[in-house]
Structures are given as C-alpha cells and as structure tokens.
Chains A and B, each alone.
Chain A
Amino acid sequence: MTVDSVTIAFVGSGGAGVMTAGQMLLDAAANVGWYGLMSRSSGPQIRGGEAAAFVRLSPRPVHAPGDRFDMIVAFDWQNVERFAAELPLSAESVLVTDPTQGEVPAVLAASGARIIEMPIKEIAASVTGGRVNMVGLGAVAAVVGLPREGIEAVVDSALGKKGPAAVQASLAGAEAGAKAAAGWGLGLELAAPTKNGATRWNISGNEAAGFGALKAGVKFCAAYPITPATEVLEWLAPNLAKTGGILVQAEDEIASITMCVGASFGGVPSVTATAGPGLSLMIEALGLSVASETPVVVIDVMRGGPSTGIPTKSEQSDLNIAVYGLHGDAPHLVVAPTSIADCLQTTQWAVHLAEAIQTPCIVLSDQAMGQSRAVVDKPADAPFKAKRLLAEIKDGETYKRYANTESGISPAAVPGMPGGEHTADGLEHAENALPSSQSSDHQKQLDKRLRKLTTYDFGSAWADIEGDPQGEVAVLTWGSVTGPAREAVAKLNAEGRKIRLVSMRLIAPIQPEKLAAALKGVKKLLVLEQTHGAQFHKYLRAHVDLPGEVTVFSRPGPLPIRAREVRETLVSLV
C-alpha cells in the first residue's frame, strides 16, 4: 500500500547538515524518477543557527508544500519552536528524535504525533566518518522506499571529487540509518515513479527567472544584492558572461536600474533583480523608462513587507507598488509567474514584451518560488525573444523618436544608427523628442503610451485557466498562491466538484474582456492572495466587475497558504 505524496522535514542546528540532507533527498528522489519540492527555513544567524529543510515528494508534479508533515527527523531540537507554525502536524505524523539531543518541544508533541526515538548521533559515530545528516537521510530513504541507487547517485555527485573514502563514509552512514528505520512500518512508501521519459529539471525559481532572461536575449545586468533575490543575480553573473553578456555590481539599487536604462538606451536588453525595498528605490527610474520609452525588466522577488519587513519569508504585498508606484500617469507592464518552473517562461515573456512595447516590465516573483527548488518537467521552449522595433531612417528624413503611430509603438533609433540622433527624455516631449509643456503634446504622448499597451495582443499567456471550464465556482489568484490552489481544485474536481481556476499572469495592463470571458457563468468566486490589505482584490475591483458572490481569502506572510485551507474554504462556499 503506497502513498501519493510524502512530506518530510529535517530540523536541527546549523552544523548538523540539515540543508544538505534536504537537498540530497530531493536530488536522490529526482534521480529515481520522482517529483519534489523543497524549501528551507533558518534562524537569523549567518552561520550555525537553527535550520529546517522541508521536502515533499510525489510520483506526480508537486505544486505546493504539503498540508502537514508526515515525518520530521530532528538531529536536535535547538530553537525549533521558531519553526513550529511552519510544521503543521497531526496525530498521523511521526517525529523522529534523538533521545540524547533534547526533548521533543511540547508545541510539536501536542499534535499527538507518534514519537520514535532513534539514536542518530550514536549511529553516526559507529560508522567511520559517519555524519548525522547521512544517517537521517538513510532513514528517510528507507521509510519512503527510495531505492539505494538514488542515494548512491547523489552521494557520488556531491562527494565523488573528495575520493572513495568520503563516498564510502556517507553511504555507510545512510545504510546505517536505513537499517535503523527498517522495522518502523510507517506505511509511507511512495508510489513508484512514472517513467514517461520526460526530460526533468531540478531548479529554483530564482535560477529559472535568470535563465528566462537569458533565453530572451538579455545581455546586460546591473546588480545589487538583496534577500531573497540575490541568487538571481549570482546565477546570472557567470552565465551572462558565458553567453557574451555583462553583469556589473552597482553601488545601490538606483545605480542598478539606471545602468540598465543606459544599456537599454544603447539597444541592449537589460535586466535586474531586487526585492521590495529595492523596488521602492527603483520606482523613479521606472518612470523614466516609461516616459523615455526605454525598456527594462525588473524581477521583484517579493518578501514580507512593509519596509524591511521579513526578508526571508514570502508575501505578495508588492502588488500595489508594482502597479501604482510610479508618479504621474505611467502605464507599464507587470507580470507574475505562477510556479517555480513558470519563473522561466514568464521572465522570458517579460523581456520580450518590454522590448516590443518599449516600456518597463516588473516580474512579481516571491521568496516561496525564488528560494525553493522543485523537480519539474522541463518547461517547453517559448518563442519569446527580445526584439525592439527599430527605425529605418531614410536619407534626408527627419527622424521622430516618439512618432504618434497607430499602435503607439514608435520605431526606435539606437546610438550607432546614422540619422537617428535624438535626445531621449523624461521630460514630456513632442513627437520629435524635444521637451514640450504643450497640452496637445502631453495628451498625444499620454494617449500613445497607454494605447501601445491597451491595443497590444498579449495572446493566451495572460492567464492559466484550468479545472472545469463550466464550473460555477471559481478560484481567481496569482503568483505562488496558484500552487496550493491548483492542488486544491484538482482534488475537489476529482471528487466530482466542478471548479474553475484562473491564475493571472499578466497583472498590468489588466485584461477586462478576457477576464470576463474566463469567469463567465461563475456564481461563486474565491479570490486568493497573500497580502494583508487584499491588494489583488482591490486592484481587480478598480477595473472589472467580478461575477457572482465574491469571497476574499487574503492573508499576509510568513506562512504559506496550504492546499487544505483552499479546499476547506471552497467547500464552505458551496
């Protein structure tokens, strides 16, 4: 009797190797054909503090963290109370504890979970070069039925360079752990993987976003580190260089975004990545990008706000500033990936759109997607490339940089093009780019900059629409909340309900007609978001009439919205 999903946590103080154990479990599972999702939590210390790795495995793609943990393996319980809210448990859960490393915290034991004592430290010591995290990994492997080859492959790839002794020590530790867990009979063996030959990736949202930018043709990045976006930039640094691009570390976020504007003025597709506080700093330059029609892409990996907020936790509360943050009437693009894998295509799309429409695009990712790793089916190749409409300047022709075309998109001259000389300007301007305070010029340019967005054909990528197309109950959401919504809707539809799911990828410009069509016939609508102030719901209401009876589930970070919560809310609606 196998299960369809198993959710494990490793917890302990930094030195125990908690993060490595989690990473290796995910990698081993990937190797034998399973899918998985891993996220991590740690205390505020830079080194050595409490740490937790959360891994969910399944023979099918995993969309969300589990509703509760099937098993927690604790190398020690140092400060684990800090993670208590992130470790939902029930009486069916299992807590594996080393009796020499402290008591199971009352807050976890109160769940009624079964407690299994395993002398992890002693077992590790009994093996030459044994480490507690390998013992724990071996125990988990036995419990979920992970074949030995999976462990061997990851140990080899992680430690092969350190020589056969290191590999042997790790494998022996894992075996000892497996042996100790052999008789537990927990019934958590995972169903066999479906070997369908699909190519799969093991990737984080931040890596995917960086790769998406490269795939679109980005060749310049100016970077300033900030949690939880730094990995986007650190992935881009060597990979941009390998593909003939440049990454430069700037002195602050304002320098980052303005360097991108400068590079883009030179015709080179540019990207940067940041989080809420950095996006706040970049806002003025995004307005300059709008007014001068110089495209840039900013990946905002959202975290708990406001202000410094909760840097290491996820939230969706930058929606307002992304959409409304620019002074003046400054319409622009905002997109939001719907999953870890989708960070790639959505960022790629963002670069394509920004270049095509000559305007900035903010990509609203978040910490949950950015810093989690998933084993996913390789994303299909998308046709989105950076391609700016360039001017063809004839001899003797007076070039007008901001020509009032029907589409609103003006053919661009880029330095290097003879006859295209002009001064791009944040000042309002006439069609010939010269500064103007005339009402006719302002009206014309405002209309043009809006028209180029409202008349653009964004195609079907504006949203992911799933579930029952005739369902009278619908979920409307965006970003990382799509994952638990997907899982909840799939489960309820499998039980015979008829529920629709709409996840908006194109946040701005909003698509009222497409949204109305997607929600036609809906009688009960659940709007889901991870904000305190229902930013998404208020944004929708400003632009569209939502159908039927609307319920809003709006909760801020730091805790993820789980599929069970979405299910229970949906059930209570009907």
Chain B
Amino acid sequence: MDTHITEAAAPTPQDYKSEVKPIWCPGCGDYSVLAAITRAFASMGLEKHNTAVVSGIGCSSRIPAYTSVYGFHGVHGRALPVAAGLKLARPELTVVVFGGDGDGFSIGGNHFLHACRRNVDLTYVVMDNQVYGMTKGQASPTTEANWCESKLTPEGTGVNPIQPVQLALACGANFVARGFSGDPNGVAKLIVEAVKHPGFSVVHVMSPCVTFRPEQKGWKSTVHPYGREPTDDPALAMRAAMEDDGFGLGIFLAGNRRPFAPAGKPVATLDQLEREFAV
C-alpha cells in the first residue's frame, strides 16, 4: 500500500501534531526533535492512519501522544520489539520508534543489539541527553564515567559510556546517522533519509537536558559535521565512527542489507493441516 499522499493538498507539520502540551521542561531538546519529526512526516506526505510511532518510557518516549498518527507508549526498554512485531504483522505501515539513551541502551540494550542485527524496516530515533531525566538525574549508559552530579552515583559511575553509533554499526544496522536537536531541519532531513532507507535505520540525536545537564547548552559549539560522505561499507563507517569524537553529525552508513520481512503465503487450509494427526 502506498502510504504517501499523491494529491496536491500538501500536509504541513502542524497536521501531524496533536493538541497535547508536552510535559518537557522549557528548553528541552526534545521539542526540536518533535518539530523535526512532524516536518519529516509532512515532507514525506505520510498518511496519518498508516503511520505508527512506538516508544518506551522516559521523557523522549512521551512523543507519541504529541503526534496525531497512531502511537504505542509501551514499557521501559521494549519499544523496539513492539515496533518489530507491528511492522512484521503490518508491513504496509510506516513505523518509527522513539526513545532516550536509558530506554534504548540500558534496559533496552539487548533489544537494540538484536534489532540492528535483525534489520526489520524500522526507523529508530534516539534522543541522547546522557542522563535519566524522568527519574530526575541518574547516569545513563552514555554518561561519562566521571560525572558526579547524580545522587545515585555520587562518585561518578566509574564505567565507560557506550558509543551508540559504533554499537549500531557493530550490530548490523543498515542506516546510521547522528543529528543535533539544535538543528531541527537537519534532523528532519536525517529522519526522511532514514525512513526511506530500507532496513533498520538509527538516527542518534544529541538532545540536551536543560534541567539535569545544563552544561549540555555547550553542545551547540561541540557538534560538527563528521567530515565524510555516507558510505555503504560498514567497515569504513565504523572506522569513521571510531575516529569521531562522538559529536560528529551526518550519515555514517547507508548500507545494502536486505530488510528482514518474512511473509507467509497461504498454501494450505486448516483441514489439510489436520491430516498430520489423522489416524
């Protein structure tokens, strides 16, 4: 089914927003990501009833209710398998997954690994603020080891953060990009590319937490283009990612893996299946 509107009445980003006021703090990076998502949906002309957004738990995961497409707000860390089940059962839908660094890489880490590997045609937008915002300021798997502002780990975690882009590449994601919420148009473009690209697409969005990581205001000076053209070679992409400082923006990989999409074609009736048991 073609999920794109071909008529002349072009949709606007506003068409994809609901009336619900977000719970986010003023200045939260997620506002810009929401703007980027609705811009991306509008520019693709997606049919609202054939689009579904899936999320887990956390500030970023509140996004589905702020859109006017179908949404599923599930449990912590499990957005990816919910989205995979939905897409596998209803392949004609456009399914986009949203979540944060805790939801995606801590409790959700195993599902992230297998989602990259399985390569179902999904787009996963991770809003990374290197903290757990909703539970009020604990370290996340992307927090630096010596961040001492959390009451839970007052001496710092002492544990090295994971590198989401490298992890996505290592596990086989077919499209890997990084954006910055300070450039919502840039993020919108990445989301469009990611959705259009077949297979599992990861858009890692640096999205500052104004309340628990106010120093992330400085990210606007730290981000930079990562400096290469997108490649379809995962090894090249990985080398670029490993040489990057974690703030490089752009598309690292636009790969060639075939998406995972088993399709059952009915070739037997229930009566025929019964024969296996007949004495």
Contacts and interface: CB of A to CB of B under 8 A. Distances in A.
Interface of A: 30-31, 199-203, 207, 211, 214-215, 219-220, 222, 239-246, 248, 250-252, 254-256, 258-268, 270, 284-285, 287-288, 292, 375, 378, 413, 415-427, 433-435
Contact of A426 (B75, B86, B265, B279): B75
Contacts of B73: 423-427, 435
Interface string B48-79: 11111110000000001101111111110010
A211 B273 contact: yes
A118 to B, nearest CB: 30
A375 B279 CA distance: 8
Contacts of B13: none
Given A222-B81, A242-B266, A268-B89, 13 more contacts: A199-B278, A243-B266, A251-B113, A252-B110, A258-B75, A258-B85, A262-B81, A262-B85, A263-B85, A270-B85, A284-B75, A421-B49, A426-B74
B81 A255 contact: yes
B270 interface: yes
Interface string B241-254: 00000000000000
Contact of B81 (A202, A258, A264, A415): A258
A422 to B, nearest CB: 7
A417 B8 CA distance: 22
B277 A207 contact: yes
B93 A288 contact: no
27 contacts: A201-B278, A202-B279, A203-B277, A214-B270, A214-B273, A242-B266, A243-B264, A244-B264, A246-B263, A251-B110, A254-B81, A259-B88, A262-B54, A262-B81, A263-B90, A266-B93, A284-B75, A375-B279, A378-B274, A413-B70, A415-B52, A418-B48, A419-B49, A421-B70, A426-B74, A427-B73, A433-B65
B114 interface: yes
B56 to A, nearest CB: 10
A292 B113 CA distance: 26
Given A239-B273, A243-B273, A426-B73, A265 B86 contact: yes
A416 B270 contact: no
Contact of A241 (B84, B89, B264): B264
Contacts of A268: 89-90
Interface residues of B, number: 51
A241 B69 CA distance: 31
Q: Which of B20, B87, B90, B278 neighbours the largest number of chain A CB atoms within 10 Å of its CB?
A: B90
B238 to A, nearest CB: 22
Q: Which of A423, A424, A427 neighbours the largest number of chain B CB atoms within 10 Å of its CB?
A: A423
A201 B277 contact: yes
A120 B89 CA distance: 55
Question: What DSSP secondary structure best describes chain B's contact surface?
Answer: mixed
B267 interface: yes
Contacts of A254: 78, 81, 111
B223 interface: no
A258 B70 CA distance: 17
Nearest to A375: B279
A202 B279 CA distance: 6
Given A246-B263, A424-B72, A262 B89 contact: yes
B208 to A, nearest CB: 24
Contacts of A251: 110-111, 113-114
A259 B49 CA distance: 21
Contact of A425 (B65, B113, B270): B65
B89 A258 contact: no
Contact of B262 (A246, A267, A424): A246
B9 interface: no
Contacts of A245: 264
A260 B72 CA distance: 13
